[in-house]
Amino acid sequence: MPTPSNMTGKTALVTGAAAGLGRATALRLAQAGADLCLIDIDSEALETTAAEARSTGVRVLTQAVDLAVAENCHNAVTAAVEMFHRLDAVCNIAAVFIPCHAAKMSTADWDKTLAVNLSAPFHLIQAAIPHLLEAHGAVVNVTSCAAHQGQAYTAAYCATKAGLTHMTKSLAMEYMHQPIRFNAVAPGGMMTMLAAGIRTLQDADETLLKRYSPLRGVVEIEDVAEMVAFLATDAARAYHGACINIDNGITAG
Ligand X SMILES: NC(=O)c1ccc[n+]([C@@H]2O[C@H](COP(=O)([O-])OP(=O)(O)OC[C@H]3O[C@@H](n4cnc5c(N)ncnc54)[C@H](O)[C@@H]3O)[C@@H](O)[C@H]2O)c1
Interface residues toward ligand X, by CB under 6 A: 16, 18-22, 40-42, 66-68, 93-96, 116, 142, 144, 187, 189-190, 192-195
Query: How many angstroms separate the CA atoms of 136 and 130, rounded?
Result: 10
Beta carbon nearer to ligand X, 137 or 189: 189
Beta carbon nearer to ligand X, 34 or 142: 142
Q: How far is the CB of 234 from ligand X (least distance, A)?
A: 24
Q: How far is the CB of 179 from ligand X (least distance, A)?
A: 26
- Closest C-alpha among 40, 14, 9, 44 to residue 27: 14
Say if CB 128 and CB 170 are below 8 A apart.
Answer: no
Query: How many angstroms separate the CA atoms of 249 and 13, rounded?
Result: 30
**Catalytic residue status for 157:** yes
Say if CB 153 and CB 212 are below 8 A apart.
Answer: no
Q: How far is the CB of 226 from ligand X (least distance, A)?
A: 14
Beta carbon nearer to ligand X, 5 or 110: 110
Active-site choice (153, 157, 212, 239): 157
Query: How many angstroms separate the CA atoms of 245 and 248, rounded?
Result: 9
Residues belonging to the active site = 157
